[in-house]
Amino acid sequence: AQSVTQLGSHVSVSEGALVLLRCNYSSSVPPYLFWYVQYPNQGLQLLLKYTSAATLVKGINGFEAEFKKSETSFHLTKPSAHMSDAAEYFCAVSDGGKLIFGQGTELSVKP
């Protein structure tokens, strides 16, 4: 079965600093990978997805992620954090017909 592991349940950055949220996957086949964001008291919404078309994937709100097969990683980055980026971020992998989520990383942004 496919799985993802998010390293760090909580990340804190200063406004304007680089955001790096880590995700490693376990998959026996080329995976489909996703990053979702959840703002307080809301559902999850898609940031970006990887479907093997390109290893560097650009998403909404200035986020991007790079698929690295050699490292089995799909880390999420944003060059400059904004206060509005404070939320919980989930990495996910498609497993057959299902989407399996990591444990989530809460991002805090300090002024």
Partner 1 sequence: DAGVIQSPRHEVTEMGQEVTLRCKPISGHNSLFWYRQTMMRGLELLIYFNNNVPIDDSGMPEDRFSAKMPNASFSTLKIQPSEPRDSAVYFCASRQLMGTGANVLTFGAGSRLTVL
Sites of contact with partner 1 (CB under 8 A)? 32, 34, 36, 41-46, 49, 51, 90, 94-104
Closest by CA to 23, choosing from 61, 62, 60, 49, is 49
Q: Where do runs of H (alpha helix) occur along the chain?
A: none
Residue 85 CB, nearest approach to partner 1 (Å): 19
- As a whole number of Å, the end-to-end CA separation of the chain is 41
Which region holds residue 97: left if phi is over 0, alpha if psi is between -120 and 50, else beta?
alpha
Residue 75 CB, nearest approach to partner 1 (Å): 19
Of 86 and 99, which has the nearer Cβ to partner 1? 99
Of 7 and 100, which has the nearer Cβ to partner 1? 100
Residue 16 CB, nearest approach to partner 1 (Å): 30
Of 34 and 63, which has the nearer Cβ to partner 1? 34
Residue 4 CB, nearest approach to partner 1 (Å): 11
Closest by CA to 31, choosing from 49, 47, 58, is 49
Of 81 and 89, which has the nearer Cβ to partner 1? 89
Half-sphere exposure for 13 (CA within 13 Å, toward CB)? 22
